[in-house]
């Protein structure tokens, strides 16, 4: 498997040609392996946050419906004020939902970055998070990065000013976000049954 450094060196030396990346669109080949800019990274983050927000809403809805199964309320047996109070108690307080969303977001980013370097947003935007050795960050690094990205999202803006397109989180943890399209996902390569699995189509480093 070709590392990020080997890929960049091969491309700089001119030994990497278009046929080496048959699964990528022609316009995307020249970006494969480059560090991603602010816009694509921000869009990926927004997709992830929206996904987590949707999960939070679904969880709240599930809890609300489950509460009626466990403790049904008969409006004929209680007064209007008490019935309204009962409905309010079935919905978690806003602060609880916010904390739940933050925790879920941290766990979501941690798991996906540690396992593959990709979240759903990264996958859609063709991005991958990697460490200084050119592979997906480990669990500890992914957890710290997820904490920093969730608690200090403005740190991403620094990628617009950094010569290496690195956010504050990347600088602290020595990580990078590169362009690496869907061909880098092992199970998809296996499903498609192409030769891409043994070629320089997988970039796992920076």
Q: Does the pTM exceed 0.75? A: no
User: What does the DSSP assignment read for 76-131?
Assistant: TTS-HHHHHHHHHHHSPPHHHHHHHHHHHHHHHHHHHHHHTS--HHHHHHTEEEE-
> In the numeric block, which tokens belong to residue 144?
């710290």
DSSP 36: P
Note whether residue 166 is domain-resident: yes
- Residue 32, in any domain of the structure: yes
Instruction: Establish if 9 belongs to a structural domain.
Output: yes
Contact 156, 164 (CB under 8 A): no
Res 170: pLDDT: 93
The Cα 177–Cα 174 span in angstroms is: 11
- The reply to whether 22 falls in a domain is no
In a domain, 203, yes or no: no
pLDDT band at 5 (very low <50, low <70, confident <90, very high): low
pLDDT in tens, 14-71: 554 444 444 555 666 667 778 888 999 999 999 999 999 999 999 988 888 887 777 7
Q: What is the span of the domain harbouring residue 118?
A: 4-17+27-198
Residue at 81 is within a domain: yes
Say what the alpha-carbon torsion angle 175, 178, 183, 185 is, to the nearest 10 degrees. Answer: 20
User: pLDDT digits over 151-205, tens only?
Assistant: 999 999 998 888 888 999 999 999 999 988 765 444 444 433 333 333 333 333 3
pLDDT at 2 over 50: no
Most confident of 71-80, 93-102, 137-146, 158-167: 137-146
- Residue 205 counted as domain residue: no
- State how beta strands 176-179 and 127-130 pair: antiparallel
Could you report the per-residue pLDDT of 68-89, keeping only the tens digit for each? 777 766 544 444 445 445 555 6
Is 151 contained in some domain? Answer: yes
The tally of domains found in the chain comes to 1
């Amino acid at each position: 498997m070709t590392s990020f450094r080997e890929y960049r060196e091969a491309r700089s030396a001119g030994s990497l040609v278009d046929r080496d990346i048959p699964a990528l669109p022609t316009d995307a080949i020249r970006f494969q392996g480059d560090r991603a800019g602010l816009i694509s990274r921000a869009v990926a983050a927004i997709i992830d946050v929206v996904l987590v927000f949707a999960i939070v809403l679904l969880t709240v809805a599930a809890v609300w419906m489950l509460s009626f199964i466990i403790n049904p309320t008969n409006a004929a047996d209680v007064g209007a004020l008490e019935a309204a109070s009962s409905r309010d108690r079935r919905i978690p307080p806003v602060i609880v939902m916010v904390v739940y969303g933050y925790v879920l977001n941290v766990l979501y980013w941690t798991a996906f970055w540690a396992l593959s370097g990709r979240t759903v947003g990264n996958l859609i935007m063709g991005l991958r998070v990697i460490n200084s050795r050119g592979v997906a960050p480990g669990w500890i690094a992914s957890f710290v990065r997820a904490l920093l990205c969730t608690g200090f999202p403005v740190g991403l803006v620094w990628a617009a000013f950094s010569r290496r397109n690195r956010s504050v989180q990347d600088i602290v943890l020595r990580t990078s976000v590169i362009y690496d399209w869907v061909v880098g996902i092992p199970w998809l390569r296996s499903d498609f049954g192409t030769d891409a699995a043994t070629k320089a189509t997988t970039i796992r480093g920076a």
